[in-house]
Structure 1
Amino acid sequence: MSQPAPEICPTCHQGTANAPASAPLDDYLTPEDLASLLNDTVTTGTLRNWRYNRKGPRHVLIGRNPVYPRRAVHEWLEAQEQESVARWEDRA
């Protein structure tokens, strides 16, 4: 019997529970990577402002360099979707 294909997150294109372990930094996005992932609708400058104001997806610093855990980005995007749906439902 073959193993089922691992589930792939449509947002960050990373495997979920069944995926093999990856290199440690493969689980993180640079600000440039995140901006690109968001189709450049958010700039690196906006991400910088969000970090300063503690908004947006959670980040960690490696030295002085901010990186975004893919899981945190995925969770943040899901929260944004839920908030958007709630706002539309409140209008009804």
Structure 2
Amino acid sequence: MNNNIPQITPQELRQRLETGSDLVLIDVREDEEVAAGMIPDALHIPMGEITARQDEIPADAEIIFICRSGARSQRVCEYLVQSGYNVANLSGGMIEWNETQED
């Protein structure tokens, strides 16, 4: 396992989004999972479609990958970093994102 993947916490991601950082968010969960809610402006590319839709992923952007717990998105990061993508994994995934939500 490649442990060199940068991790970003939900709190860090919120701060970066609030300050207008130029990030690309990609949610790799399945259709029925994202139906319950996604981070605003995130792209939805299910994990199983990443290789087929790799041309939709900007090679020159900083990309944050998101899943339910952070495990699937970590695997996607490990795959794409080999192709030279600038990736980071949302640690704790949507579970932690939703737990840290401010009302």
TM-score when normalising by structure 2: 0.27
Structure with the higher fraction of residues in strand conformation: 2
Higher relative contact order (CA 8 A, sep 6+): 2
Larger Rg: 1
